[in-house]
């Protein structure tokens, strides 16, 4: 089952990063990476067309209290969402408390191990402090970069599923699972 989550007061630190709630003043940083072609598409959404679109999503991040901003050298360069997983796709997890991670990083910062660093810290927070039993994480079958991030963080492929993008396209997606008991 999906656990209740509220990260609106939570700040986590890693060697290079601060993971913290989103603020309205993050709009320029957000729009700067969300408008770039080839970023959002890999996570199921299209590049933002204008600042207004980014402003609406940013407002949603703040209201829904489940998404961390990734701050690096004073700038927001990505996000990690503690999303609700699809309970119909993982019915055997009904007795366990879990969520699904979703993440995006500004293209300018790819390939430096930043997302694995952020995701590892958030996994530790969700297992050790919140007490979740498991985490799910998905990637489109062709998304090798996300697959590598997930592998490096301990996730293993669990089930091939169909998902729908925010713009109504059906895609094949590998759903991976990380169990707290696996020691990660």
Binding residues (CB under 6 A) for ligand COA: these are 39, 42-43, 103-105, 110-116, 138-139, 143, 145-146, 148-149
Judged by beta carbon, residue 58 or residue 80, the one nearer ligand COA is: 80
Minimum distance of ligand COA from residue 103's CB (angstroms): 5
Q: Phi, psi (5° rounding) for residue 80? A: -130, 120
Degrees, nearest 5: CA angle 55-61-67 = 140
| Residues 150 and 175: beta-carbon distance below 8 Å | no
Judged by beta carbon, residue 6 or residue 156, the one nearer ligand COA is: 156
| Residues 100 and 146: beta-carbon distance below 8 Å | no
d(CA 154, CA 166): 27
Judged by beta carbon, residue 131 or residue 145, the one nearer ligand COA is: 145
Minimum distance of ligand COA from residue 33's CB (angstroms): 9
Residue nearest to ligand COA (CB): 111
| Residues 75 and 29: beta-carbon distance below 8 Å | yes
Judged by beta carbon, residue 129 or residue 157, the one nearer ligand COA is: 157
């Amino acid at each position: 089952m999906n656990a209740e989550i509220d990260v609106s007061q939570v700040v986590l630190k890693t060697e290079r990063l601060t993971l913290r709630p989103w603020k309205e003043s993050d709009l320029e940083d957000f729009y700067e990476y969300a408008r770039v072609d080839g970023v959002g598409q890999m996570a199921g959404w299209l590049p933002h067309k204008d600042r207004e679109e980014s402003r609406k999503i940013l407002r949603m991040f703040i209201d829904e209290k489940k998404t961390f901003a990734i701050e690096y050298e004073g700038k927001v360069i990505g996000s990690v969402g503690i999303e609700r997983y699809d309970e119909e796709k993982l019915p055997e997890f009904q007795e366990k408390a879990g969520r699904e991670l979703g993440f995006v990083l500004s293209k300018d910062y790819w390939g430096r191990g930043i997302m694995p660093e952020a995701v590892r810290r958030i996994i530790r927070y969700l297992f050790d402090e919140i007490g979740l039993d498991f985490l799910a994480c998905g990637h489109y079958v062709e998304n090798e970069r996300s697959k590598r991030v997930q592998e490096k963080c301990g996730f293993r492929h669990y089930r091939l599923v169909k998902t729908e993008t925010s713009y109504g396209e059906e895609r094949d997606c590998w759903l991976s699972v990380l169990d707290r008991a696996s020691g990660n």
